[in-house]
Structures are given as structure tokens and as C-alpha cells.
Structure 1
Amino acid sequence: MRTDQEIYNDIGSILLAVVPDAALKVIMRAELSSENDHCKCEFDYVDKLTGNTKWFSAGSRANSDLLDLLVELRNYFVANFNSQEKPFWHGCEVTVDIETLKINIDFKYDD
């Protein structure tokens, strides 16, 4: 099994590959199905010239790859933290700072 850091790096790489050139930050919000078979994703970026947040489409290939990685990450957490409550978390917000290449993921848990 891969480490969570490897999965984070792959998520960041995909987002960096699809974000518009004018981006300062890229933001992805994702909601995973409990069956791990689909994911609802929204993509935004912060424009480096205006500072405004704008929507963009990442494309079907990126969406598919991100679904696979998010499922892998959730399974990693379930396996390594012995969660009694599958699916552990159901969504997340991923932010990548383009200048520093730092990634931050905030997870959404069931209430």
C-alpha cells in the first residue's frame, strides 16, 4: 500500500496539470459516494492578476483519476486508523498553492 503522502502528491500533480496558467491557487471540492463509485467535484482557481476566484473544468480524465486517488486515500485512512465508521470521511476540499507547491486537504466527516 502506498503512503498518504504519495497519494497527496499525485492529487496535487493532477490539479497542477489542469489548472489555468493564470492561477495563484487551485481549489477542488469533492464529495465521494459511500460506494466509492462516483464523485462530485468542483474546481476553482484564484486568479493571480485580479485575486478573483473563478470556476474551471478539469476534464473527464482528471475527474476519473481524482476519484481513484480519493478512494485510495479514504481506504488508506480506514485501513490505517481502524475506523469503525466507514467510509470515515465523505468529502474534502483540496487547495494547492501554485507558488509554494504546498497542498492542504480539509476533510468533511459525517455529522
Structure 2
Amino acid sequence: MIDDLYNRIGQILVMSCPDDAVKIVTGIQISEENDVAAYFFNYFDNKNNKKEFKPVSKARDDIFQTMLEIKKYFIDNNLTNGEPIWAGCIVEIDIKNSKIDFEFKYERFIGLFEDDD
């Protein structure tokens, strides 16, 4: 179940990134009210140049909804060990080697919530 959610995030990001991307680094931070998210989307090309990209709003919405499902899974399965739930995560995808890594963050790491549209 949880792996399916992680893979869904990965698929959305890989389908949304530029064709020359070999690695994606994305930050997703969800408000305490679970009603908005802040993001950053970066990728690295095969020359290791870091660039920004912005997925279409449908992809951002799908990422947000999937992150809410992951958050619910953590809470429903008591994976917080009685601690507050994470505030967001950084997702790294190595496209060439088909690897994905989620690093959950417990403190805010993206500035103020701003309108992404």
C-alpha cells in the first residue's frame, strides 16, 4: 500500500520533469490544516546542472492528494510513535537507476506558503 503511494509520487514527478532530467529533487510541505502545500521542483541534467521546473497544476494537485494519503497512512498505522506527524518531505528520484527516496521533515523547511498559480 505505502509503496504504491510512493511510486505514484515518483511516476507523477518523472512524467512531469523535462526530458533531459537524470535526477529530480522535490520538496513538498503541507500546511497543518492539510488544505494547501508549498513545493519546490528541481532536476539535474546529465552534466549535473541544477535547474527548476514546474509541473502543471494537475500534477501538483495529484502530488498533494497522494501526500495526504501517505500522511493518513502514517496516522492510521501509528507510524508516528505518538509524535506529531511530519510537515513534509524531500523526494529524490534517480531516474537512471529507478530509485526513489523520501526524507520526511518534521519542521517547516520551505518559506511561507505562497500562491503557486
**Normalising to structure 1: TM-score of the pair?**
0.90
Aligned to 1:5: 3
Aligned-pair Cα RMSD in Å: 1.5
* Alpha-carbon shift at residue 82 of structure 1 (Å): 5.5
Aligned to 1:22: 20
* Alpha-carbon shift at residue 85 of structure 1 (Å): 4.0
Q: Where do 5+ consecutive residues of structure 2 fail to align?
A: 109-117
Secondary structure of the corresponding residue to residue 96 of structure 2: coil
One-letter amino acid of the counterpart of residue 33, structure 2: E
* Alpha-carbon shift at residue 54 of structure 1 (Å): 0.5
One-letter amino acid of the counterpart of residue 68, structure 1: Q
**Normalising to structure 2: TM-score of the pair?**
0.85
Find the partner of 2:67 among 70, 84, 93. Answer: 70
Aligned to 1:108: 105
Secondary structure of the corresponding residue to residue 81 of structure 1: coil
Q: Where do 5+ consecutive residues of structure 1 fail to align?
A: none
Spell out structure 1 runs of 4+ moving beyond 4 A.
none
Percent identity over paired residues:
36
Aligned to 1:51: 48
CA distance in structure 1 between the aligned counterparts of 2:32 and 2:83, rounded to whole angstroms: 11
One-letter amino acid of the counterpart of residue 14, structure 2: L
- State the number of aligned residues: 107
